Each structure stands twice: as C-alpha cells, then as structure tokens.
Amino acid sequence: MSISVEEFRVSAKAWLADNMPRIEDRDPTLDDPENDTASWNRTRELQKMLWNGGFAGIAFPSEYGGLGLTPEHQRAFNAESRPYELPFRINIPTLSICAATILDMGSEQQKRDRIGGALRGDELMVQFLSEPRGGSDLAGVTTRAERDGDVWILNGAKIWSSGAYAADYGLCLVRTDWSVPKHAGLTMFLVPVHADGVTIRRIRQVNGSTEFCEEFFDDVMLPADAVVGEVNGGWAVASRQLYWERTSMGGGSPYVSGVGRGVAPAASRPLTDLARSVGRLDDVKVRELIGESRANHLVQAALITRVGAGLAGGHLPGPSASMTRLFHAETDWRDSDIRLEIAGSAAVTGPTGEVGELFLNRQAGSLGGGSTEMARNVISERVLGMPREPAADRDVPFKDVKQGRA
C-alpha cells in the first residue's frame, strides 16, 4: 500500500466521521469496574470495526494483517481519532507489547496467527512475567517447563497480569534449564490462557478494579511450537518485550489502535473543566497548576518524538525507551497530585469524587512497565554507561542460587 501521510489523514478523517461513534456518546457504565466484561466485549467490537474499515494495524506489515505503513501514518490517524470512541484497552498489552514482540521474535506461523487474530479483534494477549516471589528480578523466575517427548509441561505461578481473565494467549517466561546462570536458562512460551491446568484469580484493588490477576499452572501441556524464539533463549525475547513495554508505557508505540490506554475518564478530563466545576478557574494558583501540567505534557510529547526518532535511526540504544517510560510515570504522578489539589475536599464528594478514586491508584503509574527505580537503573547503566550494581548470583548456575530464606 502506497499513500502519503496527508492523503491517509484525509481518508482516515472521512472514515472516522462516517463510521466510529463519538466519544461523548460512549456508554459511561463501561467505566464501572463491575462492568468489566462488557467493557472488554466493547473493545473487541470496536477493534473489529477498525479491521472492517481497513484501519487496523496501520504500522504492522501487510503479510500479518496490517497496512504496512509508517509510524507517521499511525500518528496521523491518532490525531484524527481523538474525538471518537476507540478500542484503547487493546493497545496495552495486546498490540503495543505482545504483538510487537511476536513480530520481532516469533515464528512465521505465530506472526500470522497471533498478530492477525489481535488485529481482527478476535484475540487478546497478556503478559505472564512477574511472579509472587520474584520481585523485580525478572531473570530469577522459577516457574518451570520440562520437556516430555514432543511437549512441554508447565508448572508454577505468575502475578500482576493485567486483564488475564479476558485474554486468549499469554507470553510466559519460564525456566527450562537450571544448570546455567539465570539469564541463560529461560524460554518464552505462548500459553493458551484457558488451557487445562491454568487457573486465573482476579485481585481486587483499592479502587474496586479487579483487572490484575494471578495465574497458577498445574501440568499445563504445551506443544513445541508454543516456544517463542529459541529454547533457553528466552531472555532475548523478554528483553525485546521489555523494550516494547517501556516504549508503550511512555507513549511511543507505533502499533496502537488510536492514542490512549483506556484510562479512567478522570485521568483524561481537561483540568480546566475540573477547576470550573469546583469554582476555582479564576484562582491564580490553580491556573499555575494547569500551566504546569500543560508544560509537562508538551515536554513529554517532545521527548517521545525525539527518543522515537533516535531509536528508529539507530542514534540511541534500545534501553533509551526507559526515558519516555520514566517521564510518563512522573507526569502521571504529578497530574494526580494536581487534580487532587484543584478539587480539594470535592475530590471525594459529588461529581468530582472520581478524582479521589484516581488518586488511590496513583502509584500504578510508577509500577506498570517496570518500576521507576528500575527505569533509572536502566538509564544510568545502559544509556549513560555508569557502573552496574554488584550481583551475587551473576555467572552462578541457577540451581546453586539460594532461594527464599538462608
């Protein structure tokens, strides 16, 4: 497909106006945590609408269901799509992390099946990375897979998987060799979420949401073609996955269906509207806060553009994506604080009570996609070249690494 960015923009603008629902007409009950299943069903429906209209997977290669266009074409579509209801919940992690990782590291069949399934709105994907006992040491996973003839038998547990209950497949990092150092004995698998032996439990958060899940794998049978990349080469796949996670959390992914992450309305509502609703729009201090937020978002947009260009042109190393991820977290944090300061006591009462609920979930921005502390470590060590922190388990066979209490 050959079309200029401007021609594509004009085409997208006309199609969106004729086919996609306006954001102001969106059913507000879909934002209720208790109505989560309906929200996911709506996400699939909207993605199918994009697919049928020829605007799904704009920057994904055409052989896997996309349009084969550039990130600039995707950004043009994003700009025109802002007034419309779009399937934002499919962006993270299905399209911008999981499908992007499979595009880079998966087999031809995995690319055709999983990327195509996601773009059609038929499938959702999730990440099975963190473990209950693992903390931030992703390479220290103990969920294991053992070969039994032509199949692998999976056992263990994962946690903090966003939307796992609604997904169809999960990218699952497990240990397949205990005789080598921790990074060398890992393998990435594509696990059918609802396969026999997989148990999913939803975790209720302080704001009432049950989006996060924990998973238990009991003798789950996986075929050989479930391996993504190479056996015992899972760290290379995980590293690429983390790159796309940081890129998407920072707002720089070219593989999304419109701009947005499916965040709560309170997080996207203009601060001027909030200030006006509580009668403080003329307050000089409030205007300064609104200006501060605006400046942060302008800097964030410029940072995304600069880092994205640097990564695409090879001028910046891959870990530089952590810079956009870190700044995104800091901006989200500050916005939550500013909203609370503007709303005052109204943050927990009346129509602006959602501001207080949003503040309860404030820390999420510093944890999703890896903690801000991890992002700072990545930037310091892998971008700035500062000395790495010492690690007692480096180059030690994982079976000899002490687990749990000494």
Instruction: Measure the CA–CA gap between 78 and 14, rounded to whole angstroms.
Output: 14
What integer pLDDT is reported at residue 304 of this predicted model? 87
What integer pLDDT is reported at residue 324 of this predicted model? 87
Amino acid, res. 242:
L
What are 298-312's pLDDT values in tens digits? Answer: 999 899 889 888 888
What integer pLDDT is reported at residue 206 of this predicted model? 76
Torsion of CA 215, 216, 221, 226, to 10 degrees: 30
Alpha-carbon dihedral sign for residues 204, 206, 209, 213: negative
What integer pLDDT is reported at residue 360 of this predicted model? 79
Catalogue all structural domains in the chain, each as residue range(s) with its CATH number: 9-123 (1.10.540.10), 127-232 (2.40.110.10), 265-383 (1.20.140.10)
249 close to 369: Cβ distance less than 8 angstroms: yes
C-beta neighbour count of 265 within 10 angstroms = 12
What is the pTM for the complete model shown?
Answer: 0.85
What are 134-177's pLDDT values in tens digits? Answer: 767 888 999 999 999 999 999 999 998 989 999 999 999 999 99
**What count of Cα atoms within 13 Å lies in the side-chain half-sphere of residue 382?**
16
Mean pLDDT by 10 residues, the chain (406 residues): 92 97 88 81 96 97 96 93 92 95 98 97 96 82 96 96 94 97 96 97 83 95 97 96 84 83 63 92 96 94 88 86 87 91 84 77 71 86 88 85 68
Instruction: Taking each helix axis as running N to C, give the angle between helix 5-19 and helix 71-81, from 0 to 180 degrees, rounded to the nearest 10.
Output: 40
Amino acid, res. 187:
T
Q: Which of 372, 298, 297, 368 is nearest to 335 (CA)?
A: 297
Catalytically active residues are 245
Instruction: Measure the CA–CA gap between 84 and 98, rounded to whole angstroms.
Output: 25
C-beta neighbour count of 174 within 10 angstroms = 26
173 close to 141: Cβ distance less than 8 angstroms: yes
